[in-house]
Amino acid sequence: MSAATRAVTRLAIATGAVLAIGAVSPVQAMTPVDSHQACVRPASHDGARTSGIDREPAGMHVSAADQARIERQMDARLARSNIAPLVVGAEVPVYFHVMMDADGNGNVTRQQIVNQIKVLNETYGGDEASNAADTGFTFTLAGVNRFRNDTWHKDGASRKYRSQTRQGGSDALNIWLVDFKFLGIATFPWDYAQHPKIDGIRVHYDSLPGGGIANFNLGKTATHEAGHWLGLYHTFQGGCRPPGDEVADTPFQASPTSGCPVGRDSCPAPGLDPIRNYMDYSYDSCYTRFTPGQSVRMNDAWTAYRA
């Protein structure tokens, strides 16, 4: 599908406001991490998703030039596939890797994992709001692996443990449950070809349903990180300047949301901040939706990189 065709498709599902289509400016981290990831979010205190914004490792930045290159690459791959992707999604096998320490800390229950799968299916199925998109993606539990390793539990030697434990192909979502200073970290789909052994998302084990991180324990951190894994940027990436987050129906947003500030409007362009969007940094209880445009982009990225 050409860039022009994709633009028309996205404009067709826009909701009427002047909306973003755009560039990436990944969120900053508090400690160095490897460069092949989409999102780093601190999980140490209330409102953590806006903390550490001025402390991003240099390797985390995706320049405007890289952003443009990624879009050209995706357009080219879609054109070569001779497929005009419909917004139909796919069935995604999910492998959980529970990284405990020697004392068993981080050993989430089987029920928490089952509940996390349920949350993924509800959020990607558009079940939480009347204006939420049904993306067509469904998630099935393919396996649960448990490891006792103090280093891995704290996300140490992460490239090594991911390469040794990852399962499945490009279409398999691997979720490593660890204890670190962040809510979650994800890889983008366009990095899979060069780095297949570390593809997936790392999520704080206490962010699963029933976990202990206040305001972030309903399982929607995994929803957010899986969004990156499926090709979405943050709603606030690019700030108030076009092209935004590459999606036509998410209004421009100057900065990440903290809490659930109804009516927040951080940019002069029409449209309130999309605080209820899973790709913002709101409380879990505030999240309710992906947009139709985000659904189109996820299906484009799936066709280009994971199908």
| Tokens 């280009």 found at | 304
* Distance in angstroms (rounded) separating the CA atoms of residues 293 and 168: 28
The pair phi, psi for residue 39, each rounded to 5°, is -150, 135
Q: Give catalytic status of residue 122 as yes or no.
A: no
Considering Cα of 276, then 279, then 280, then 282, what sign does the dihedral take?
Answer: positive
- Of the candidates 56, 71, 225, 246, the residue annotated as catalytic is 225
Contact partners, residue 259, CB within 8 Å, separation at least 6:
47, 215, 282, 283, 286
Per-residue DSSP letters for the chain?
A: --HHHHHHHHHHT--SS--------PPP-SS---SS-SEEEE-SSTTGGGTTTT---GGG---HHHHHHHHHHHHHHHHHHT----TT--EEEEEEEEEE-TT-TT---HHHHHHHHHHHHHHHTTTT-TT------EEEEEEEEEEE-HHHHTTTTHHHHHHHH--S-TTPEEEEEE-SSEEEEE--GGGTTT-GGG-SEEEEGGGSTT-SSTTS-SSHHHHHHHHHHTT---TTTTTTSTTTTS-TTS---SS---S--TT---SSSSS---TTBTTS---GGG--B--HHHHHHHHHHIIIII-
Point out the residues that are catalytic.
225
